[in-house]
Chains A and B, each alone.
Chain A
């Protein structure tokens, strides 16, 4: 373990409890001395430690939360244990893990086969919206407000028709 401030070998681990989660900070003896952590009488973590350490720890906590699929509650541990996924959304969350599994079992990594018709429509609709939106942005930038208004109406009408189709 390296010191999180200077890359030297860490010899001090400081653990702080925040709510029910713990934050760990590893420091070398020198840095720990410098920050006053070894002198237990007078220090406060939030004062002595750089904010990016806290940020790194916060990210780590977030990463732990993201190990569970929001749609179905499936976890990375489940995937590793049973080799299957919980629902179609899991594929987004565990994309990199799945990718590493695919390498050895398939001919390639990208689908070359059939595309469901509904999916073609979705893809087309998406590109149409993007197209209208970029035209709209341009028109606003060029201060062509009449044209912008017209495009805005078109966009709204198209989105409305999509919404009613999907009902």
Chain B
């Protein structure tokens, strides 16, 4: 079995996925909610009942081929800091972290699958992968679900579908979501317009950690709200179309900035670089703001390959629990700001300043409207 220390030492698969394009859509996630028939939902169950439910579910999910040699822990056996690390990695929910006895988390080695026992529902399963790949994330989770449905007695109704503790999850019990990095839409003040349009067609937009969290580092989550009345495929199709549109807006905004306001953009990225390399204290919000610009710069050719992955892992490492784990002790917020700046300086020490000449080449190489491509002069 995988130990907690092993889990935190290794980045999740999605963070190292160099081959996949995740410059705008960072990750795709699918969550399925399932419950056992005729036993109280976790929020209504007594402690003893919850334990019994866990004892029914845990062996079945730890026994899955995909989960073998993975991480499997009862939450009461984890320190609160450790639970917080799992939240920051999106492996368990904030709600689950607040729970204790009778609740468990199982994570596979690649950290692409995580299963929570006795969260709001008896079983919540999640798959996460890099880039815009909701369909793949769903297929992976679907295969797990099909294996489990032969072993666990799922609560299901012909009309209402999978029965969940909260009626908002009835039907498919599926929440599909994507994490998007939208700095250009934020800089060009188009973000609220775009997000409002998304909200109007019944999709939810949230910050980094879901419901009720503010956006840090220009990161936004878009997900479906309705789970009943449409098939899983139809929900994913609709979401995919919208997310692709938002991502295209972002890409266009990036290109337009580099074509029309290259100096302003270069100035922003250069300043972010300078601050990150030399500042002594950083709160989360400020750090995220600057790292977001470096990530944008990496996509636009200001920084060498691999810088985007560096930004993604940095965004993980500077969060409070990861940071305290790195420091080896619990720290007051002021102390954290000091360590945060230290981690950032350390991670970026080999990163060269933004390469402005690269950008000028890139601008010249970009096919702008009807203009003819630049050809070498004929002599």
Q: Could you tell me which A residues sit within 8 Å of B by CB distance?
A: 71-72, 74, 82-89, 91, 98, 101-102, 105-119, 123
Contact = CB atoms under 8 A, between A and B. Distances in A.
Given A85-B167, A88-B155, A117-B150, A71 B229 contact: no
B225 interface: yes
Secondary structure dominating the interface of B: loop
Interface string B210-238: 00000000000000011111111010000
A83 B27 CA distance: 31
Interface residues of B, number: 44
B39 interface: yes
Nearest to A123: B158
Interface string B15-40: 00000000000000000000111111
A111 B171 CA distance: 5
B22 to A, nearest CB: 28
B314 interface: no
A115 B155 CA distance: 11
Complex A-B, nearest 7 residue pairs according to Cβ-Cβ distance, in ascending order:
A108-B229, A111-B161, A88-B155, A107-B229, A106-B228, A113-B172, A107-B226
Contacts, number: 117
Given A105-B226, A109-B229, A88 B158 contact: no
A113 B40 contact: no
Contact of B157 (A82, A84, A91, A117): A91
Contact of A87 (B39, B159, B161, B162): B39
B264 to A, nearest CB: 43
A112 B231 contact: yes
B374 interface: no
Given A88-B38, A111-B228, A118-B149, A106 B170 contact: yes
Contacts of B232: 113-114
Interface string B138-156: 0000100110011001111
A89 B156 contact: no
Given A72-B44, A87-B39, A88-B38, A109 B228 contact: yes
A92 to B, nearest CB: 8
A105 B167 contact: yes
Contacts of B39: 87
A115 B157 CA distance: 9
